[in-house]
Amino acid sequence: MKGANLDGPDGSISAFSARISGQVQGVGFRYSACHEARRAGIRGWVRNTPEGDVEVWAEGPPAKLEAFCQWLRRGPPGAWVDAVDSAVRAPAGYRTFSIEYDRR
């Protein structure tokens, strides 16, 4: 997200999606990300992918999103983050932050 313009149309709410790769499954990444997001007042979701990555959708004030994206680059203790690929998105209007589970 470095260098990305996160300002929404009204300057208050922005959003991004991200895919985090590395050793990010089986280390509490989703639970820690959910805790960090809720603590910061960020809304959206986090989930594992079948490929072994973690995906995030986050909405909130730009400064809080930037701090959350920086946390995603570190992750929780035990995680090893190789890359965070992110893109600015239009807010979808999520009301909470949740962990999504595979519905297969």
Among 30, 73, 89, 95, which one carries the catalytic annotation? 30
CB 66 within 8 A of CB 1: yes
Angle (nearest 5°) at CA 72 between 19 and 40:
120
Is 5 tagged catalytic? no
Among residues 43, 48, 74, 95, which one is catalytic? 48
- Helix 62-74 to helix 29-40 angle, to the nearest 10 degrees? 160
CA-nearest of 73, 40, 74 to 59 is 40
Let me know if 30 is a catalytic residue: yes
Intra-chain end-to-end CA distance of the chain, in Å: 31
- Mind telling me the catalytic residues? 30, 48
